[in-house]
Amino acid sequence: MGMSVSTGGGVKAEPNVTPMIDVMLVLLIIFMITIPQINAGFTAVPPEGQNLKPHPEEEGDQVLGIDDQGRYYLNKSRIRNEDLEALVGEIYLKEREDYIMYVKAHKDLEYVKVVDALDRISRSGVRVAALITDQTPNTESLVTSDRIMPGSN
Amino acid sequence: MSMSLPSGASSLNNDMNVTPMIDVLLVLLIIFMMIIPMSRKAIDTQLPDPTPQPPSAQVNPDQIVLEVLPDDKYAVNKEPIEKAKLLERLTAMYAPRPEKIIFVKGDTTVKYSAVIWAMDQARGAGVKVIGVPPK
């Protein structure tokens, strides 16, 4: 009962992968270029927490960064610490849609330095400070409204 | 002066084996795609009003102040409480209250992450508004 295996020699079954590689290379390069620009200028490791409110990034968001040395960054560019009130005031002491400022501070900072910054921006018209915090891995907020995807508010 | 081109290597396959490269590229691509859309999360805090109102600045007796003290100690309305029991205590306090406001005050020596932890617990206990008292 021997069956002869057919060895269809001449036909090649390999797909042409060259266009796929081209597309992927371009995507890869785009991602590699954009990531450093997103993180450029300022790095801080925010603290971790569980019950956090999602705040998707939007046009017009103002982010105050405080790095581990206590230096201030406004939207990722370094500012002199004594200029904080003036620069933030230029943004918030006028008619605006909201008076929220995002504060991304390093987790090992002393709290005094953060309150100091919060005090100062409150004098420049900021009403709500959203303290940026990372979700602890494998946790979910206990607050039900946090789990609904944002936008409805 | 004609030069004959060598036509011998017809049986050799000149195509590069690109499969391992595609594998590596795909993995890199997936890694980068996962890094980018990390959604931002935050804890909202109400900042103090810079314009002082001296007559009405009297402390409301009903308000709850959570203090973050050095050495990982906490106090609710000046009453010390164990770290492990904080969430339970706050939940019990806030369940019957209509206004879910807390003031979180940090000692001058505590770390920022300790205060964030306390605010996090407060939100978990049902607090809606977190106030940051001025220094």
Tell me, yes or no, whether A82 lies in a domain: yes
Residue A116 counted as domain residue: yes
pLDDT along chain A (153 residues), means of 10: 52 77 84 73 84 83 88 87 88 86 90 90 89 86 73 42
* Residues 59-98 of chain A whose Cβ lies under 8 A from any Cβ of chain B: none
The mean per-residue pLDDT over the stretch B9-33 comes to 76
Q: What is the CATH number of the domain that holds A101?
A: 3.30.420.270
Domains recognised in chain B with CATH numbers: 61-131 (3.30.420.270)
Structural domain total, chain A: 1
Banded model confidence at residue B84, pLDDT cuts 50, 70, 90: confident
Average pLDDT value over all residues in chain B = 80
> Residue B7: is it exposed, middle or buried by C-beta count within 10 angstroms (0-12/13-18/19+)?
exposed
- Does residue A109 lie within any of the structural domains? yes
Tokens in use for A152?
């409805």
Structure-model confidence comparison of residues B2 and B77, the more confident one: B77
pLDDT value at residue A148: 67
Percent of chain B with pLDDT over 70: 80
Asked whether residue A102 is assigned to any structural domain, the reply reads yes
Q: Does a structural domain hold residue A70?
A: yes
Give the C-alpha separation, A30 to A25, whole Å: 9
Confidence of residue B2 (pLDDT cuts 50, 70, 90): very low
CB pairs under 8 A between A and B: 155
pTM of the model: 0.71
Structural domain contains residue A113: yes
In a domain, A37, yes or no: no
In angstroms, the separation between the Cα of residue A96 and the nearest Cα of chain B is: 17
Sign for the pseudo-dihedral over CA of B112, B113, B116, B117: negative
* Structural domain span for residue A101: 48-147
Distance CA A75, CA B119 (A): 25
* Residue B1 C-alpha, separation from nearest chain A C-alpha, in angstroms: 38
In a domain, A107, yes or no: yes
pLDDT at B9 over 50: no
Return the pLDDT at B51.
Answer: 72
- Where do the DSSP E strands lie in A10-124? 48-49, 53-54, 63-66, 72-74, 77-78, 100-105
Question: How many angstroms away from the CA of A31 is the closest CA of chain B?
Answer: 6
Give residue-wise pLDDT tens across range B93-107.
888 888 888 999 888
